[in-house]
Structure 1
């Protein structure tokens, strides 16, 4: 507990539960095994008449959703992004063992929102001879329905809201959770991100940016590989949600020790500066009460693009210099889950802290190995020049 004594305890939050669904699976056992595996879970799928790389939900997760819908027919009209959020939050709540509680704050971030529902309803509208829309087209395509249906499913009467700050949406939800908890407006908070973007239009949007992977071989997405010769962005779907409480709790899976955030002046509609100025600022803010030498690892945002990956590595070099730290990410396994990606990165970091393991990038022949972990930094960036960094520490 020595490192905890030096902190401003009033600013710490405990992660007391977490739940996720992604290409890695849904059960803890399957997720851990797949994180340890050296294989990717990216595969070729059909979108319209085209075949592209993507990271769809694991079969176990798909079957879980199907079983859930067979028992809860009222949810069948909801977009997959909403279902992912609901089930991930349900799992987090169960692990936290909150039971019947006072109102819970809920914030679920998503970059694109209800993509499946929107594209389906718009297709119907565009083909209808009278230009009519289906009756549920409005309530099932709003971004806000991700959070309020999650609240309904958890039977919470507290504040529930959604937002989009593109690919950093999930970590912005964690920022909001920390502020809400320390404001005194709520005692418990559910935060995370959900995304189901494997739709024809969303994939076409990414391809239009000329970043989508056309690589063959064992690793179509080479996120974090500085030796790659071209862009290797691949979309994935999933959600990760966390149960948060103020202060240090005995049952905490990990502690949110500090947070950082920043924006920078846009140089284009999508890019960050070559030196990753926004990430430099957010990482320095997250490290305001810690030294760079205390950080054991970084789970990077690195989307698999040349510009994005190199900018983040330059930012890390500027902040950490020659400090001995390990760098990794999970997008080579899960693809880029847009607004949910930061939450899945955070889940990976929590598991590394709990197990004292490091899950490296596979491109250079490295394998998962035991490493004493005390602090891990998690980064996320998004369109608009924004960045978020969250410093996690082990609950000793």
Structure 2
């Protein structure tokens, strides 16, 4: 079983500005932004008052009142995205002809903050708006335990997929979305499953989250022109824009996918993660740990640095991150760092914490599909310390056979993944 290759054959995306992978891609290719003033609650008391929200109606996507009562918003997004990925892949799970074996089909879900919105809402109820020191649990929804334990996300996706194989939750902060997909690929490579439904979800736009990021001044205080608030690699940036979303994929053993005639978006050729063991929120300016993750992922993919056609940056829009990443690209890619296009889609869809890594994998696979590199929106005043080609403002047509995507998270997590065309060496 060792050395089995992993294909990505299905994509499902719910992201700000567009539900479904097609609308998501159209927004990126057009360079449009989905950031706006928060409408989920009154943001007036907060320093940061903008976010990237999804216009999502559960009923429109087949979720009934009982589903909505049982599942936090993040779980709802995950189930709908997973269903789209399964439909896109054309694979069935069950006993029908050509269906995947349920016992050989697994699930991996990434999430940084779990059921934030459900827990926030229920605390307000049981504490009577924060007035009760001793909360009254009798007012809580009966499914509160499901909000508390992130494992409920994996259970919901497994039920939706009919998957009876390995089911896992990965929570590594803002790299959760890459790490969940990377873990799922390893499960297939080692032979523990043949098909994995893998991705990530987070719906963190709530008062408690805004208060936490306000306290450390990580999110932008820019309130005028919310659509221009997220400015990765720009000299005028002053913090990231919080977002929400979910992206899921169907991963399969490559030979099996080819035998059933599946459309293969990309091969998950390499993945690695590292920790800087340095600081909860701080980053070393030399980018050494991210560079090491990139080198390791390239090694697993057996790909030279100069074969990378596009780099999807973490690009959160903070000075510390943007400069750390720039240094990491130079350290790991060498002179090629100055030639390869780099961009950040967070400029358009915000930073959805644990979900964004999977959303960015979807962007990379679609960039390979369409031979178009999404731009870094709002990049008008380049930071002189970020001197690479960050594809400002407008998408760029370019053949992309091999793509690198990276993530960086609180706690020092640094992850990298290489996506490639399976037949790239034969062309």
Shifted more, 202-211 versus 215-224: the winner is 215-224
**d(CA) in 1 for partners of 2:284, 2:134:** 48
Name the residue aligned to 1:353.
368
Report whether the alignment pairs 1:148 with 2:155.
yes
Which of these residues, 138, 152, 177, is aligned with residue 184 of structure 2?
A: 177
Which of these residues, 229, 238, 243, is aligned with residue 220 of structure 1?
A: 229
**d(CA) in 2 for partners of 1:47, 1:75:** 17
Alignment TM-score, normalising by the size of structure 1:
0.91
Name the residue aligned to 2:206.
199
Name the residue aligned to 2:386.
none
Which of these residues, 72, 78, 101, is aligned with residue 79 of structure 1?
A: 72
Task: Output aligned runs, 1:1-396, within 5 Å.
Answer: 10-46=3-39, 48-51=41-44, 52-57=49-54, 59=55, 62-63=56-57, 65-68=58-61, 71=64, 73-99=66-92, 100=94, 101-103=100-102, 104-127=105-128, 131-133=135-137, 134=140, 135-215=142-222, 216-217=224-225, 218-225=227-234, 227-228=235-236, 230-248=237-255, 249-250=257-258, 251-266=263-278, 268-288=279-299, 289-323=302-336, 324-362=339-377, 363-364=379-380, 366-396=393-423
Do the aligned partners of 1:144 and 1:163 also contact (CA within 8 Å) in 2?
A: no
After TM superposition, where is structure 1 displaced by more than 6 Å over at least 4 residues in a row?
Answer: none
Shifted more, 328-337 versus 215-224: the winner is 215-224
Displacement, 1:77?
2.7
Displacement, 1:344?
0.8
Displacement, 1:247?
2.8
Displacement, 1:129?
8.3
- Structure 1's 395 and 46: CA in aligned 2 closer, same or farther, altered over 3 A? same
SS of equivalent to 1:321: helix
**d(CA) in 2 for partners of 1:50, 1:24:** 20
Shifted more, 356-365 versus 296-305: the winner is 356-365
Displacement, 1:69?
5.5
**d(CA) in 2 for partners of 1:389, 1:357:** 21
| Structure 1: gaps spanning 5 or more residues | 1-8
Do the aligned partners of 1:330 and 1:345 also contact (CA within 8 Å) in 2?
A: yes
SS of equivalent to 1:76: helix
Displacement, 1:190?
1.1
Displacement, 1:54?
0.3
Alignment TM-score, normalising by the size of structure 2:
0.85
**d(CA) in 1 for partners of 2:305, 2:133:** 62
**d(CA) in 2 for partners of 1:223, 1:187:** 38
Shifted more, 205-214 versus 70-79: the winner is 70-79
Count residues with an aligned counterpart.
382
- The CA RMSD measured in Å over matched residues stands at 2.0
